Amino acid sequence: MQFASLICTFAVADATVRASLPPIDSDPYQQDLTHHSGSCDVVDGELVCFQRPAAEGALRVACVGDSITAVGHTSSVAHHYPNQLQDILDANHGNGTYSVTNLGICGASLQKKSPKPWWNTGAYKTLVANKWDIVLVMLGTNDAAPQAWPAENHEHCDNATLETLSQCNYANDYKALLDVIKTVGPDASTPPEVHIMIPTPEMQTDSHDGYAMIINTVLPHLIPLIGEENKGIVSSVIDVYTGMGGVVDWQKEMPPKCVLNSPWPPCKWYCDMQSCDQTHCNDVGCAKLAHVVYDGKGPWTLADMQV
């Protein structure tokens, strides 16, 4: 279990804070070692990730994220959203045209002062050690945990504007990451195409620790501002939140949580007989997520990308 404990040290939001999330050592989806094959390995006790092998000339795609990217609550590696995105790209553009690498790390956060910064992981080392044509970033779910979103963030991030964005820790660390990403393009003079994503909604809306409020209200407001502030680097903001069932008036429209056969249609992407979770997508949900990302990015064909 060494591999699982390294790649998924703790659940998406610390289980001591979020009772709805099982502890990492009892979550079968994050303990299953086969889920992590193909993206990371343990070398001399340290987690090492690597760029996916690809055909010569393939466009390299990096999926940066947390456990929603890394594993979700899926039944196999093939169901992870980056691998399902790979399948869509192969089907629509031909095998070998794109190569998608999963750089998701369970429990990882964007902020450098959070309990588990993505910056300190093997996935970050892989990002900066390789060249990429497209980088997709979806980080923020773990930043919403109370221990990662202190009073200072509530003061400077929750209602930030373009004029006050520089006071927000989350926005500043996002800018720092984007400044790194712009240096890992296919050659020294060409930055990668960068798309930042509003994370999937939190489906347990009756929590009283502010977690759902950050994910369902603050991040959908904040991430577009970050995209606008960094428009010289960011090609687009992909609204995964809405695409995966989030709504503006979520406190009134969404159920307290997803249950089997819920009348709220998006619940099927989180809760069925295969898995019922309020944060991680199941097999069906990761398939939907891959399509939301594919459609949300905009043109993928080489001719359209160069316009």
Mean pLDDT value of segment 55-61: 93
Assess whether pLDDT exceeds 60 at residue 19: no
Alpha-carbon gap, residue 148 to 14, rounded angstroms: 10
Residue type, 26: S
* Rounded distance between C-alpha atoms, residue 259 and residue 261, angstroms: 6
Instruction: Round the average pLDDT of the chain to a whole number and report it.
Output: 86
Pick the closest to residue 173 from 236, 229, 211 (CA basis).
Answer: 229
pLDDT level of residue 302 (50, 70, 90 thresholds): low
Tell me how far apart the alpha carbons of residues 131 and 239 are, in angstroms, rounded to a whole number: 26
Domain 2-299 fold = Rossmann fold (3.40.50)
Provide, rounded to the nearest whole percent, the portion of the chain with pLDDT above 70: 83
pTM of the model: 0.88
Residue in the structure block whose two tokens are 């790649």: 7
Residue 42: pLDDT band by 50, 70, 90 thresholds? low
Question: Which of 13-22, 97-106, 177-186, 218-227 has the least mean pLDDT?
Answer: 13-22
Tallying the residues shown for the chain, one arrives at 307
Higher-confidence position of 28 and 112: 112
Whether the predicted pLDDT of 92 surpasses 90: yes
Let me know: does 203 contact 18? Beta carbons within 8 Å: no
Is the pLDDT at 278 greater than 60? The verdict is yes
Q: Where are the domains of the chain?
A: 2-299
Compute the distance between CA of residue 131 and CA of residue 126 in angstroms, rounded to an integer. Answer: 10
pLDDT > 60? residue 141: yes
Q: Among positive and negative, which fits the CA dihedral 90, 93, 95, 100?
A: negative
Place 71 in a pLDDT band, splitting at 50, 70 and 90.
Answer: confident
Per-residue confidence (pLDDT) for residue 236, from 0 to 100: 97
Percentage of the chain lying above the pLDDT 90 cut: 69
Please report the pLDDT score of residue 64 as a whole number: 97
The mean pLDDT of 180-195, rounded to a whole number, is 96
